[in-house]
Amino acid sequence: IHLQVQTRRDKDFVWPETHATFPFGYSAAALVLDSDFLLHWDYHSIPRFLEKLKVAFRDFNRYFSSSVTASLFIIAASSGDDAALELLAACGNSVGATSTEVIHGIPVAALSKLALPKYSLLPFCSFWEFADQILINQPDSALRLAIFLLSVNRIDLSIIVFRSALRYGRLEIVKFYLADSQVCPSDSNNFAIFIASQYGQTEIVKLLLKDCRVNQINLNNQAIIYAAKNGHTETVKILLADPRIDPGDSQDDAIRKASENGHTEIVKLLLRDFRVNPAVLNNSPLSLASNNGHTEIVKILLADCRVSWVNYKNRSIINAATYGHADIVKILLADSKVNPADENNSAILWASLSGHADVVKILLSDPRVDANDSETGNSLAVAAQRGHVSVVKLLLSDPQVDPTANNNSAIRYALKNEHREVLKLLLEDSRINFEDLGDRIET
């Protein structure tokens, strides 16, 4: 049993004293290890093993100190081998790869001094995942890890720990980083306040807003947009209290995301700010709320004088009908300016196609609705095509609905798709002329 390394010239390097075969590719060098083998690796052979690899690969940093080293470094860490730690710490960053793409082992090896339990040492994990595990399970050790990384000038990896601390609300670790001159919270489009806001870490957001290095505007005000999107009400309040933050930036994305995701309190907060336009993009917030069935938000938006009940091609009522939001359909129909027959009666057509009998019933009660629209196909035909028995019954009970419309398309669709119950309902209707059907129906 041996270890095999494939270099750019496809030459094999064999070391008999090792205990497995490792195929390495030409470019990225992906390491394949058997999980059972990991558990039985001779930890103390790692320093010697890595020394041989450094000899074999002249450009070790480029070809080997990236993803392929992760598992070996994790093993070294769990062994508590100081020699391995020193060797790993001497390896520089990999060339041509960002810290988000590379799985590094140096900080993992350092964990041998942090006395972390082995469940935190995850083979084949990215350093992002590793940092998250430490922050979740061992916050005290995470602080020691942060100190170690900064002490050996591994800023690239240290920033990942910083990001995890921002995400999981580890205030003491964030304070540590902000106090270090090597770390700038305004880097990468003010990633610090963006991450803290995105995950609703209110206390950290407060801390960052007090830091003169932090640009509260972030990239197109993404901080408040993501806080609103994810429903972090308290974070939104804090951000709105800062006059430098514009909640109306990026085409009022904050209120659009809050409306789409049903965050009622945040919608109320945003509407109180004069910079927010709830009618943006043809009343997009109203359409999004209608689309997802957020009844309370629909009511709140419609109560605002800036919002028009009649948005672009009446998309609100069409969306509500399509997704079966009967309560919203009722609210919209309460205003005479909302025309449910717009877009060739698309509202009842889509409700019928989707099988929303309660919505179809509401729409049929409006005299403006024509279920027999011939341009886009009639509602009875699409309901028959999908086999929606309850919708077919409703439509046939309406004297205005013609079961023979479009050359008996409803019967033809039911027959083609073998919806026998629907076909039976249609054939029992007294308005059907069997002579018009010819020999199409034989059963």
CA nearest 132: which of 122, 123, 144? Answer: 122
SS3 146: helix
- What single letter denotes the amino acid at residue 144? R
Q: For residues 199 and 186, give the distance between their C-alpha atoms in angstroms, rounded to a whole number.
A: 18
Per-residue b or e along 110-127, where b marks 16 or more CB atoms closer than 10 Å to that residue's CB: bbbebebeeebbbeebbb
Mean pLDDT of 148-171: 81
- On the question of pLDDT at 253 being above 70, the answer is yes
Q: For residues 381 and 371, give the distance between their C-alpha atoms in angstroms, rounded to a whole number.
A: 10
Q: For residues 362 and 348, give the distance between their C-alpha atoms in angstroms, rounded to a whole number.
A: 9
Mean pLDDT of 84-100: 41
pLDDT at 374: 58
pLDDT band (50, 70, 90) for residue 80: very low
Residue carrying the six token digits 């430098």: 244
SS3 302: helix
Note the pTM of the prediction, 2 decimals.
0.71
Weakest-pLDDT range from 11-15, 185-189, 418-422: 11-15
pLDDT at 438: 59
SS3 267: helix
Q: In this prediction, what percent of the chain has a pLDDT beyond 90?
A: 46
pLDDT at 173: 92
Domains and CATH numbers, the chain: 348-443 (1.25.40.20)
Weakest-pLDDT range from 55-64, 284-293, 390-399: 55-64
Q: In this prediction, what percent of the chain has a pLDDT beyond 70?
A: 63
For 16, other C-beta atoms within 10 Å of its C-beta total: 8
Weakest-pLDDT range from 146-160, 203-217, 257-271, 373-387: 146-160
DSSP states along 379-424: HHHHHHHHT-HHHHHHHHTSTT--TTHHHHHHHHHHHHTT-HHHHH
Its sign, for the CA torsion 361, 364, 369, 374, is positive
Mean pLDDT of 213-225: 80
pLDDT at 65: 41
- On the question of pLDDT at 280 being above 90, the answer is yes
- On the question of pLDDT at 18 being above 50, the answer is no
HSE, CB side, 13 Å, CA atoms: give it for residue 302.
22
How high is the mean pLDDT of the chain? 75
Mean pLDDT of 208-231: 87
Mean pLDDT of 133-146: 73
Q: Is 184 exposed, middle or buried (0-12, 13-18, 19+ CB in 10 A)?
A: middle
CA 215-219-222 angle, 5° bins: 100
- On the question of pLDDT at 428 being above 80, the answer is yes
HSE, CB side, 13 Å, CA atoms: give it for residue 10.
0
Q: For residues 276 and 255, give the distance between their C-alpha atoms in angstroms, rounded to a whole number.
A: 8
- On the question of pLDDT at 346 being above 80, the answer is yes
pLDDT at 335: 80
pLDDT band (50, 70, 90) for residue 276: very high
- On the question of pLDDT at 97 being above 90, the answer is no
For 150, other C-beta atoms within 10 Å of its C-beta total: 19
Q: For residues 339 and 332, give the distance between their C-alpha atoms in angstroms, rounded to a whole number.
A: 9
- On the question of pLDDT at 437 being above 50, the answer is yes
pLDDT at 314: 75
pLDDT at 154: 64
pLDDT band (50, 70, 90) for residue 157: low
Q: For residues 256 and 145, give the distance between their C-alpha atoms in angstroms, rounded to a whole number.
A: 40
Three-class SS string for 94-123? CCCCCCCCCCCCHHHHHHHHCCCCHHHCCC
- On the question of pLDDT at 37 being above 90, the answer is no
The residue ranges of DSSP E strands in 327-402, in sequence order, are none
pLDDT band (50, 70, 90) for residue 220: confident
Residues pairing with 4 in the sheet: 14
Weakest-pLDDT range from 81-95, 129-143, 334-348: 81-95
pLDDT at 132: 75
pLDDT at 375: 63
Q: Is 179 exposed, middle or buried (0-12, 13-18, 19+ CB in 10 A)?
A: exposed
Q: For residues 307 and 278, give the distance between their C-alpha atoms in angstroms, rounded to a whole number.
A: 6
- What single letter denotes the amino acid at residue 181? S
CA 354-356-357 angle, 5° bins: 135
Per-residue pLDDT tens for 372-390? 875 656 999 999 999 999 9
pLDDT at 84: 46
Q: For residues 422 and 393, give the distance between their C-alpha atoms in angstroms, rounded to a whole number.
A: 9
Ramachandran category for residue 254: left, alpha or beta (phi over 0 → left; psi -120 to 50 → alpha): alpha
pLDDT at 194: 94
Residues 6 or more apart whose CB falls under 8 angstroms from that of 173 comprise 135, 139, 142, 143, 146, 161, 162, 165
pLDDT at 316: 87
pLDDT band (50, 70, 90) for residue 338: confident
pLDDT at 214: 85
- On the question of pLDDT at 101 being above 60, the answer is no
CA nearest 16: which of 29, 3, 6? Answer: 3
Residues 6 or more apart whose CB falls under 8 angstroms from that of 212 comprise none
- On the question of pLDDT at 115 being above 50, the answer is no
pLDDT band (50, 70, 90) for residue 425: very high
Q: For residues 301 and 260, give the distance between their C-alpha atoms in angstroms, rounded to a whole number.
A: 12
